[in-house]
Structure 1
Amino acid sequence: MDIDLIQDNQAEEEGIRLKKSAESDESSSISSDESADMESTDSGENGSPKYHQANPEPMSEEEKQKERDFRKKLNRVSREIVSDSIHQAVKLIVHRPEYDSNNQEEYFNLSRELIPVVREIARKTLPLLEHEVASEFARNHFYGSKFQADSVAYRDFRYFGKKRPPTESHGLVVGLRVDESASMAAFGRLEAAKRAVIAVYEFCQICNIPILIYGDTADVSRLEQMSIFAYADFDKTDFRDRFRLMGIRARSNNRDGMALRIMAERLAASPKQTKLLISISDGQPKAMEDYTGSYAIQDMQQTIAQYERKGIKFLAAAIGQDKDVISQIYGGERFLDITNLNELPAKLVRIISRYL
């Protein structure tokens, strides 16, 4: 049986109402009327949004075939990445979720109140990004030949700039991993994750930041022990990816180390100078048969250490009851405790903007 033929259209989700983040007060100068007219936020050459029709044309047969080919490629690449790890025998399927009119409607309902917050943060970030592109110096280093006074306000000791080698590409690439375990359905966690994903995706579109957004779950069936949902991928950008994001939902178990390894390897291959991988999760790893407890924690910590040596920066946004365990796994310096779920979208966008 060809596991690539297993159905991957699992994109149903009930509509939810978005509450603006508590951190977004400073963006109140942007009216909600302006955002109500917004249909999408791909950015033009000057960084300003450009719009697409609310009901885009359905995919042609040629486009559908390209999607199938791309999904097969993602399956092949992902299996190669884990082929020399403890996950090598796990039956993996990478899905490329489809979308429908309900997903589009949900996206516009959610993004209407969120986009003004994102655009305000992007408005403040873009001038810094333009400076970064134009400069011969790479910003935000612990040492270097050029002191940058404006970085002192961040208090992270990255006060210097240094000249880039000829082979070094400036800029940032972002990976966003979403835990789609069953427990994400509780206490508004799934809704918070969706809002955060929309915010991060739209911010990256405005700022022209390559973005990888994957969801994952484990133990759907004996033939599908690990499921990856490729909602957005920088190797095949499509403005319709924003509608795929609405397929995020609570499903089954979670095999975190395998998901992190696949995404981190993809980021490590990017020529970008800064590579940030954010994981949104509500609990510790747990999957059949024995991927739990100290065994799973050790796998995650070894994966983080291995890919930090390859230049990946990890950040865990903990939104559930296992915050202490998540902090232990990732370490305090990589841990973000989200007590108020409404703060998650703006917090993540602001953190990403600091890496530019």
Structure 2
Amino acid sequence: MKEKYYKLSSELMPVISELVRKTMPLLIHENSTSVSKNHLYGSQFNADSIAKKDFRYFAKKLPPDESPSLVVALRIDESASMSAFGRLEAAKRAAIAVYEFCEQCKIPIIIYGDTADRSSLEQMSLYAYCDFVHLEQGDRFRLMNIQGRSNNRDGMSIRILAEKLLMAKEQTKLMISISDGQPKAMPDYSGDVAISDMQMVLKEYRRKGIAFLAAAIGQDKDTICDIYGKESFLDITDLRQLPVRLVKIIARYLSS
């Protein structure tokens, strides 16, 4: 996994590093305008403290308490069709780019994959590659386990990740979904039923403050656009553009 990770990330890292360099100024805190009085030394002299005999005649600026408040969830469709036409490789490269960018910018990140119907007992399966609640050193290498598996029950997986985002203290919560097709799972989760379920889930969590972005990398782009809405839809015709476009979108949320 390490060998494959370094091979895939080698050409991405210079671009990511440049984006991080351009983004870092957005992470610099605003200068604080409030001060704390009654100090033995400081940058501001308070004449009104002279009457006191404790020598605490100075004030200091308080450290800024504003910091970038963004948390990102990356959800990856691991349906069997993702194995075709280089989509799986594109998803892995995108996961690498998002992970490395967020890690370097100190943005909390969770990356999960999901599939459905792997067995009669397993209605939906989630794969945790990286989770800000339980960070581990080998998280980045686990991304190489992303693979095409079976069907996809999108509504349930989006709901689970949305609940994770709601637990984060950060104010801006962004979920990015990479998918190559419309939802389909057994026994009847497809067509209008699945689309209606997804739209209901998206509406519920948008009301709770979560922003969604769907990166469509397959043939069902029109359906995905209808589900998420034009304002939350990213049409990826050239899969090579996916990693950088996602990172640029995350950087844009930092400046909003």
Q: TM-score range by the shorter chain?
A: 0.7 to 0.9
Aligned 8 A contact 1:194 1:245 in 2: yes
Query: Equivalent residue of 1:253, what SS?
Result: coil
| CA shift digits 1:263-312 (9 cap, x unpaired) | 01110121101000000000000000111111110110010010011110
Aligned 8 A contact 2:27 2:68 in 1: no
Q: Supply the distance in 2 between the matched residues of 1:105 and 1:168 (Cα, whole angstroms).
A: 39
Aligned 8 A contact 1:280 1:317 in 2: yes
Aligned Cα root-mean-square deviation (Å): 1.8
Counterpart of 1:254 (choices 125, 137, 152) is: 152
Matching residue of 2:226: 328
| CA shift digits 1:232-268 (9 cap, x unpaired) | 0010111210011000000000000001000011101
Amino acid at match of 1:109: K
Matching residue of 1:234: 132
Amino acid at match of 1:238: E
Q: Supply the distance in 1 between the matched residues of 2:197 and 2:67 (Cα, whole angstroms).
A: 31
Residues 1:243 and 2:131 are matched in the alignment: no
Cα distance change on mapping 1:134 and 1:287 into 2, 3 Å = farther
Unaligned segments of structure 1, at least 5 residues: 1-102, 137-166
Query: Equivalent residue of 1:260, what SS?
Result: helix
Residues 1:352 and 2:250 are matched in the alignment: yes
Counterpart of 2:180 (choices 282, 303, 317) is: 282
Query: Equivalent residue of 2:11, what SS?
Result: helix
Q: Supply the distance in 1 between the matched residues of 2:162 and 2:85 (Cα, whole angstroms).
A: 29
Unaligned segments of structure 2, at least 5 residues: 35-64
Distance apart, 1:224 and its partner CA: 1.3
| CA shift digits 1:200-252 (9 cap, x unpaired) | 00000000000010000000001212100000001011121001100000000
Residues 1:207 and 2:108 are matched in the alignment: no
Matching residue of 1:116: 14
What number of residue pairs does the alignment pair up?
A: 224
Q: Supply the distance in 2 between the matched residues of 1:197 and 1:133 (Cα, whole angstroms).
A: 34
Query: 4+ runs of 1 displaced by more than 4 Å?
Result: 132-136, 167-170
Within 5 A, what are the aligned runs for 1:1-356?
103-131=1-29, 170-356=68-254
Cα distance change on mapping 1:306 and 1:135 into 2, 3 Å = farther
When the two structures are superposed, what TM-score results if normalisation uses the length of structure 1?
0.61
Query: Equivalent residue of 1:355, what SS?
Result: helix
